[in-house]
Structure 1
Amino acid sequence: MHPLDRGVMTLAAVAPEVASADIADWPLGRRNQALLETHIVTFGPQLQGWSVCSECDEKMEFEIDARVLLSEQQSVRTGRISFRDRVFRLPTSRDLAALQTEDDPNDAALALVQRCLSEGESVEQWRVEDTEPLGEAMAQADPMAEVRISFVCPKCENHSEETIDLVNFLWSEIEARAKRALWEVHAIASAYGWSEGEILSLSATRRANYMEMVHA
């Protein structure tokens, strides 16, 4: 699945009362807030990862508290901004999905602007340079749309900034939890002959206790 689809599917699973189509139309900041909240509730607040210095290739590990990100960068909920006497929607997952076939980043930027413009209007005369101030205005209106962190390389002291892919952070945790559950089902079923349903009906604590007995 594409990361955009993974993000929508995950949020639809934790909020079944909201239609997937509606989640796809959330501003990106609202989506990212929901992804962080899901991570905090399900796996805890710590986001751990690593990056590579662009100057010397030094591996840099980092750990961020998702609660701090939420408190520092609250996203707006209006979903629209005014710019140059026109009204624009804030970009959504659906908008980004529609741009996946665009190979040229300049064409993609102009296509995104057109998608976010109010119906009945056009940006045919816009240049790529015209999209930059609009992008800045959108970023100010929806600061959680792109979560960036700063790095200082401990080896060469190079300063850099990178975007955190919140979908991949959450999906990695889900994938690891799923693999662990699969292994637990296999190990306990092999030892006790129970069915998958019986094993998964156990609490996580009881499954852990049975796993300890299996390995004893």
Structure 2
Amino acid sequence: MRDLAEPTVLLDAWGHASMAPVAGRGAVLVQLAGLCPDLDSALDLSVGDCAALAALAHATAFGGEVAGFITCASCGELLSAQVSLPTAHELVTAAARCPQQVTVGDFTVRAPTMRDLLAAAEAPDQACAVLLSRCVRRHDGSPADPTELTAKERSQLDEAAETITGDTLPMLCMRCPACDCQVRAALDIAAVLWDRIDMSAPELMEEVALLAQAFGWSEGDLLAMPAARRTAYLARLET
């Protein structure tokens, strides 16, 4: 496993993930953290399994506490939250409890993979239809067509999705102080990991640029330097 906070790994992860589609960043980061042998394997992970590995990568590199914001759907209030991420073990256990495939009514539903999310993201106006066609089959093997679903069938598919997802995507639950409504939002751990990398990498590059300009050291020398020493040199530039 690679520590994504290690300077050279951090910049490598930032460079690769910043060029990837948003829906594929979790898979890219999990692979770069050494938790999958290659990107194809990471894209074939279920959403829950990718979340578990992203949690492990985040805990290793940045710890288990994250700060973020969610918006109240009722009044639009922006709420700040300090969250303790579930451990990778908790998420893996939750994922193991959830079946990868369930049969409900006339349908067989499998857990969506990161590759499925990528395909859906490429057609945002038809994302639901894409996921249905990829992950849901009727008993005769034909893909589900959302235009032909009855209200009962939609309800059955919603129940199947909840059964498959289970606790693999942690939920944030809090009460809005502005309107007193209960706010619930799924915690996208891969997105949380990317946000931390997208914040940390530019900060590191700024440090490297300042020290390289002041002392003439190469990027490689500066990235190999312990963080405490870089901080000490930066302090001397301010005096």
TM-score band (shorter)? 0.7 to 0.9
Cα drift, residue 87 of structure 1:
4.3
Corresponding residue of 1:74: 94
SS at match of 2:86: helix
Structure 1 residue 112 and structure 2 residue 136: aligned?
Answer: no
Uncovered stretches (5+) of structure 2, i.e. residues with no partner: 1-19
Structure 1 residue 9 and structure 2 residue 28: aligned?
Answer: yes
Uncovered stretches (5+) of structure 1, i.e. residues with no partner: none
> Matches of 1:89 and 1:53 in 2, distance apart?
31
1:62-101 mapped onto 2 (5 Å cutoff): 62-67=81-86, 71=90, 74-76=94-96, 79-84=100-105, 87-100=108-121, 101=123
Structure 1 residue 122 and structure 2 residue 145: aligned?
Answer: no
Q: Deviation string for 1:76-124 (max 9, x for gaps)? A: 27633333476432111111222231514xxx43442331246971145
Cα drift, residue 141 of structure 1:
2.9
Structure 1 residue 138 and structure 2 residue 161: aligned?
Answer: yes
Quick check: 1:52–1:59 contact (8 Å CA) kept in 2? yes
Amino acid at match of 1:82: T
Q: Let me know the Cα RMSD of the aligned residues.
A: 2.8
> Matches of 1:42 and 1:133 in 2, distance apart?
40
> Matches of 1:17 and 1:26 in 2, distance apart?
9
SS at match of 1:114: helix
Cα drift, residue 10 of structure 1:
0.9
How many corresponding residue pairs?
Answer: 213
Cα drift, residue 42 of structure 1:
0.7
1:172-211 mapped onto 2 (5 Å cutoff): 172-211=195-234
Residue range with higher mean Cα deviation, 181-190 or 50-59:
50-59
Quick check: 1:29–1:143 contact (8 Å CA) kept in 2? no
> Matches of 2:158 and 2:213 in 1, distance apart?
56
CA gap of 1:57–1:156, structure 2 versus 1, over 3 A, is same
Q: Of the candidates 26, 34, 40, which is equivalent to residue 21 of structure 1?
A: 40
Cα drift, residue 4 of structure 1:
1.4
Corresponding residue of 2:51: 32
Quick check: 1:139–1:145 contact (8 Å CA) kept in 2? no
Q: Deviation string for 1:115-170 (max 9, x for gaps)? A: 12469711457505324323322322332453321221112211221222323321
TM-score by length of 2: 0.76
Amino acid at match of 1:58: E
Quick check: 1:39–1:170 contact (8 Å CA) kept in 2? yes
TM-score by length of 1: 0.84
Residue identity (%): 23
